[in-house]
Protein backbone atom coordinates (compact mmCIF):
# COMPACT_ATOMS: atom_id res chain seq x y z
CA UNK A 1 0.00 0.00 0.00
CA UNK A 2 1.28 3.43 -0.96
CA UNK A 3 0.00 6.75 0.35
CA UNK A 4 -0.02 9.57 -2.19
CA UNK A 5 -0.47 13.23 -1.34
CA UNK A 6 -1.58 15.47 -4.18
CA UNK A 7 -1.78 19.25 -3.82
CA UNK A 8 -3.97 21.04 -6.35
CA UNK A 9 -5.74 24.29 -7.10
CA UNK A 10 -9.43 23.81 -6.39
CA UNK A 11 -11.00 24.39 -9.78
CA UNK A 12 -14.05 22.67 -11.15
CA UNK A 13 -13.49 18.94 -11.67
CA UNK A 14 -9.86 18.75 -10.53
CA UNK A 15 -10.49 16.39 -7.61
CA UNK A 16 -12.59 14.11 -9.82
CA UNK A 17 -9.83 13.99 -12.48
CA UNK A 18 -7.32 13.03 -9.76
CA UNK A 19 -9.52 10.23 -8.42
CA UNK A 20 -10.52 9.12 -11.91
CA UNK A 21 -6.87 8.36 -12.72
CA UNK A 22 -6.93 5.59 -10.09
CA UNK A 23 -10.43 4.29 -10.72
CA UNK A 24 -9.83 4.06 -14.48
CA UNK A 25 -7.07 1.53 -13.74
CA UNK A 26 -9.46 -0.56 -11.65
CA UNK A 27 -7.67 0.29 -8.39
CA UNK A 28 -9.54 0.19 -5.11
CA UNK A 29 -9.67 3.46 -3.19
CA UNK A 30 -9.74 2.23 0.44
CA UNK A 31 -8.81 5.66 1.81
CA UNK A 32 -9.39 9.15 0.41
CA UNK A 33 -9.08 12.32 2.46
CA UNK A 34 -9.51 15.76 0.88
CA UNK A 35 -8.46 18.82 2.85
CA UNK A 36 -8.83 22.52 2.28
CA UNK A 37 -5.70 24.64 2.42
CA UNK A 38 -5.06 28.37 2.35
CA UNK A 39 -4.22 28.52 -1.35
CA UNK A 40 -4.01 24.93 -2.52
CA UNK A 41 -6.13 21.97 -1.54
CA UNK A 42 -4.77 18.53 -0.78
CA UNK A 43 -6.01 14.99 -1.21
CA UNK A 44 -4.44 11.92 0.36
CA UNK A 45 -5.11 8.59 -1.36
CA UNK A 46 -3.95 5.12 -0.31
CA UNK A 47 -3.58 2.67 -3.18
CA UNK A 48 -2.16 -0.82 -3.64
CA UNK A 49 -0.02 -0.34 -6.77
CA UNK A 50 3.13 -1.72 -8.38
CA UNK A 51 6.09 0.37 -9.61
CA UNK A 52 4.74 0.65 -13.16
CA UNK A 53 1.37 1.93 -11.92
CA UNK A 54 3.10 4.47 -9.66
CA UNK A 55 4.86 5.93 -12.69
CA UNK A 56 1.63 5.98 -14.70
CA UNK A 57 -0.28 7.70 -11.91
CA UNK A 58 2.43 10.33 -11.36
CA UNK A 59 2.54 11.06 -15.08
CA UNK A 60 -1.24 11.39 -15.31
CA UNK A 61 -1.58 13.48 -12.14
CA UNK A 62 1.15 15.87 -13.28
CA UNK A 63 -0.59 16.22 -16.66
CA UNK A 64 -3.60 17.77 -14.90
CA UNK A 65 -2.97 21.50 -15.18
CA UNK A 66 -4.21 22.35 -11.66
CA UNK A 67 -2.06 19.75 -9.87
CA UNK A 68 0.75 21.55 -8.04
CA UNK A 69 2.61 18.67 -6.36
CA UNK A 70 2.45 14.89 -6.11
CA UNK A 71 4.30 13.01 -3.38
CA UNK A 72 4.27 9.78 -1.47
CA UNK A 73 3.36 9.47 2.18
CA UNK A 74 6.93 8.55 3.06
CA UNK A 75 8.06 12.10 2.26
CA UNK A 76 9.94 11.06 -0.87
CA UNK A 77 8.94 10.93 -4.47
CA UNK A 78 8.39 7.52 -6.04
CA UNK A 79 8.98 9.06 -9.45
CA UNK A 80 12.21 7.56 -10.78
CA UNK A 81 12.67 9.54 -14.00
CA UNK A 82 12.64 13.25 -14.74
CA UNK A 83 9.41 15.04 -13.96
CA UNK A 84 7.22 16.03 -16.86
CA UNK A 85 7.43 19.69 -17.83
CA UNK A 86 5.44 22.08 -15.67
CA UNK A 87 2.23 23.31 -17.23
CA UNK A 88 1.80 26.87 -18.35
CA UNK A 89 -0.03 28.86 -15.72
CA UNK A 90 -3.49 30.21 -16.43
CA UNK A 91 -2.24 33.78 -15.92
CA UNK A 92 0.37 33.32 -18.66
CA UNK A 93 -2.28 32.01 -21.03
CA UNK A 94 -4.60 34.91 -20.22
CA UNK A 95 -1.85 37.48 -20.72
CA UNK A 96 -0.97 35.94 -24.09
CA UNK A 97 -4.64 35.98 -25.12
CA UNK A 98 -4.98 39.66 -24.20
CA UNK A 99 -1.89 40.69 -26.17
Question: Structural domain of residue 12, as residue ranges?
Answer: 2-98
Q: Is the pLDDT of residue 87 over 70?
A: no
Residue 35's SS3 state is strand
pTM of the model: 0.70
Distance CA 2, CA 62 (A): 18
The predicted structure's pLDDT at residue 51: 87
pLDDT tens for each residue of 4-62: 999 999 999 999 999 999 999 999 999 999 999 888 999 999 999 988 999 999 999 99
- CATH at residue 88: 3.30.70.260
Residue-level pLDDT at 3? 92
Report the domain count for the chain. 1
Residue 82 pLDDT greater than 90, yes or no: no
Checking if the pLDDT of 78 tops 60, the result is no
Asked whether 70 and 2 are in contact (CB, 8 A), the reply is no
Distance separating alpha carbons of residues 23 and 29, to the nearest angstrom: 8
Q: Indicate the length of the chain as a whole number.
A: 99
Amino acid sequence: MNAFTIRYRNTQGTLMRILNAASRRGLDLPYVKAEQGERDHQVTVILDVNAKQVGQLYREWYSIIDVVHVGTGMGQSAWVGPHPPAGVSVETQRAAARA
